[in-house]
Amino acid sequence: MELTTKPENRGRWQPGQSGNMAGKPPGARHRFSAAFLQDLADVWQAHGRETMIATARVNPSTFFAVCARLIPSDVKISVEQTFGGLSAEDYAILQGIKEALPAANSQNPADVLAYVRDTLRAADAQDN
């Protein structure tokens, strides 16, 4: 008498089998992705740079938010830690102050902040 053992299936599909025989054909998801990426590339080719510049001018917070989504998360974490959770608007204000002060890049940040604070206080005192 010959003894044979059958592996138990327990309702599992074997590798390469599907329980949904009318499911998506192989590669269907890839075809959508490829078509979407091609459409995106076509739109970028026609309008990309101009749209990007217009968005940066008209709605800089949206532009900055889109850029932030493109940054890998490990870099995003270090930027958030570095700037202490500043909003895009607050960061833009700081950038504007820095650009308005020619010597800001060569000065200690605390000294630049003190200068801006003192200048604003003096301007407020003159207005009152």
In terms of pLDDT, which residue wins out, 73 or 105? 105
Q: Please list the helix, strand and coil fractions of the chain in percent, rounded to the nearest 5, in that order.
A: 70, 0, 30
The answer to whether residue 21 sits within a structural domain is: no
Give the total number of structural domains in the chain: 2
pTM of the model: 0.33
Cα gap 82→76, rounded to integer Å: 10
Residue 50 has pLDDT above 90, yes or no: yes
Residues 84 and 117 in one domain: yes
Residues 59 and 78 in one domain: no
Task: Give the CA distances from residue 41 to residues 7, 44, 78, 105, in Å, rounded to whole numbers and listed in that order.
Answer: 50, 5, 31, 39
Extended strands (E) in 33-128: none
In terms of pLDDT, which residue wins out, 58 or 5? 58
The distance of Cα 5 from the centroid of its chain, to the nearest Å, equals 56
In terms of pLDDT, which residue wins out, 32 or 60? 60
For 50, the domain range is 31-70
Residues 78 and 119 in one domain: yes
pLDDT at 53: 92
Least confident of 65-79, 86-100, 114-128: 65-79
- Check: CB of residue 76 under 8 Å from CB of residue 68: yes
Residues 54 and 80 in one domain: no
